[in-house]
């Protein structure tokens, strides 16, 4: 079979589009940083504050002969509840203080602030992310057209597609009107770092692949691996934020107000409740796990067609299986042992660490049929 020649103009266009996307991603990152730093009130925060004010006005009219504590539970959206506690003293108005772990106080990183300009910065960040994604996608398409094949045949191309999948997944969640704008900063930062590593350390000229890689399984197997990677990363970010928010809520409940996780750390107050992050991480991992299973099976089928064996314990095959076992253990622990919260989060982090090593460590530092050492 005669392979198509390389179109240098399209290859050069691909490089320019990727670099342009990196510039726009950088601008989006700074816009998100402004939003996280200053913030503005969001819809959920406004509704929650209005409800708390109304309840405060009601209970403030009550007076008692002796001091006592009154606790009221207010139902919220999505099945969540907010616990309001007040202490009433004879002849004094009551003060309502929001407490209780697991309550969503806000709708994003800027919801506890008052700057409308910061909220505008968040919206600008999303718009810039969309523009960057379009440039990014154009670069990937141009790369594929330059050699008339699927544009993820080496580590550089896979990294570009991986960064694209992360950003696309985040914007798709926003399009479904999910309250996930807080994901913008870590996603844009990760996409920028991934592209930076790809262009500086992993770059290879646009070229044809070895005959074994010219197969329809390149589109099927690698595409699903890219999607799984983007989803696993989103779950990883949710897990990290869960651990931080949970520590903040614990310290708040204990009355600790100093330190990076004390009640004075307003950025944690402006994020959704820890339970929100925990549920999101679990749901993403549970949803993607069957697709990761398919990815491994598809790779085995392709290996048999290309090399004559379904499984040879190649380093990539081995670590793909280890990653599968790690995520299976996480899901099994949650489903049967009732593991939730921090114990499950640590398992999820270990599973993602396996995936990350499988992505970078095996491909770059380990010799095997899948490795790209020396690229």
Question: What is the structure's pLDDT at 208?
Answer: 73
C-beta separation of 363 from 320 below 8 A: no
pLDDT under 50 in the chain at which residues? 1-2, 40-70, 74, 76-78, 84-107, 111-114, 263-264, 373-374
Q: 189 and 324: one domain?
A: yes
Query: What tokens does 351 get?
Result: 């599973």
Q: Using one digit for the tens of pLDDT, what is the confidence trace for 205-218?
A: 887 776 666 677 77
Residue 371 inside a domain? The answer is no
- Asked if residues 85 and 93 have their Cβ atoms less than 8 Å apart, the reply is no
One domain, residues 336 and 192: yes
152 with 83, same domain: the answer is no
Does one domain contain both 65 and 213?
Answer: no
Whether residue 228 is found in the same domain as residue 276: yes
Asked if residue 38 is part of any domain, the answer here is: no
Give all strands (DSSP E) within the chain, no chain letters: 68-75, 81-88, 95-99
pLDDT at position 365, please? 75
Same domain (yes/no): 48, 130: no
Domain final position from 53, 72, 99: 99
In angstroms, the CA 218 to CA 299 distance is: 9
Note the helical H segments in 38-102: 43-59
CA distance 91 to 94: 9
Same-domain pairing of 212 and 302: yes
Q: Could you give the number of structural domains in the chain?
A: 2
Per-residue model confidence as pLDDT tens digits over 276-322: 888 889 999 999 999 999 999 998 888 888 777 888 888 888 899 99
Q: Is there a single domain that holds both residue 282 and residue 174?
A: yes
- Give yes or no: residues 200 and 345 share one domain: yes
Q: CA-CA distance, 192 to 26, in Å (whole number)? A: 7
The domain of 252 spans 8-30+114-365
Same domain? For 95 and 132 the reply is no
- CA dihedral sign, ordered 63, 64, 68, 73: negative
- Considering the domain architecture, whether residues 195 and 255 belong to the same structural domain is answered as yes
Domain-located, residue 375: no
Same domain, 183 and 143: yes
Nearest to 161 by CA among 14, 6, 53: 14
| Inside any domain, residue 360 | yes
Q: What confidence score (pLDDT) does residue 111 get?
A: 44
């Amino acid at each position: 079979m005669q392979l198509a020649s390389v179109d240098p103009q399209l290859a050069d266009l691909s490089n320019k589009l990727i670099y342009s996307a990196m510039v726009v991603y950088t601008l989006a990152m700074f816009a998100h940083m402004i939003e996280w730093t200053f913030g503005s009130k969001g819809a959920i925060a406004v509704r929650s504050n209005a409800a708390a004010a109304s309840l405060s006005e009601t209970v403030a009219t009550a007076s008692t002969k002796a001091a006592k504590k009154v606790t009221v539970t207010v139902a919220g959206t999505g099945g969540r509840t907010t616990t309001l506690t007040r202490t009433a003293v004879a002849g004094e108005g009551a003060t309502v203080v929001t407490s209780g772990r697991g309550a969503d106080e806000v709708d994003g990183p800027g919801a506890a602030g008052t700057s409308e300009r910061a909220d505008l910065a968040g919206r600008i960040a999303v718009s810039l992310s969309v523009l960057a994604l379009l440039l990014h996608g154009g670069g990937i398409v141009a790369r594929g057209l330059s050699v008339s094949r699927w544009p993820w045949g080496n580590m550089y191309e896979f990294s570009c597609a991986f960064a694209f999948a992360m950003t696309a997944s985040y914007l798709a969640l926003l399009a479904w009107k999910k309250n996930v704008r807080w994901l913008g900063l870590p996603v844009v930062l990760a996409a920028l770092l991934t592209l930076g590593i790809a262009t500086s350390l992993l770059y290879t000229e646009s070229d044809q692949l070895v005959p074994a890689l010219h197969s329809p399984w390149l589109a099927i197997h690698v595409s699903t691996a890219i999607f799984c990677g983007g989803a696993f990363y989103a779950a990883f970010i949710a897990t990290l934020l869960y651990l931080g928010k949970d520590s903040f809520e614990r310290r708040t409940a204990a009355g600790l107000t100093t330190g990076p996780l004390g009640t004075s750390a307003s950025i944690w107050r402006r994020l959704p409740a820890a339970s929100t992050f925990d549920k999101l991480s679990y749901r993403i991992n549970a949803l993607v796990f069957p697709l990761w299973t398919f990815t491994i099976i598809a790779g085995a089928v392709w290996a048999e067609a290309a090399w004559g064996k379904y499984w040879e314990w190649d380093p990539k095959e081995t670590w793909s299986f280890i990653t599968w076992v790690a995520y299976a253990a996480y899901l099994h622990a949650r489903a049967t042992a009732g593991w939730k919260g921090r114990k499950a989060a640590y398992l999820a982090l270990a599973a993602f660490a396996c995936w990350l090593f499988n992505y970078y460590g095996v491909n770059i530092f380990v010799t095997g049929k899948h490795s790209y050492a020396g690229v």
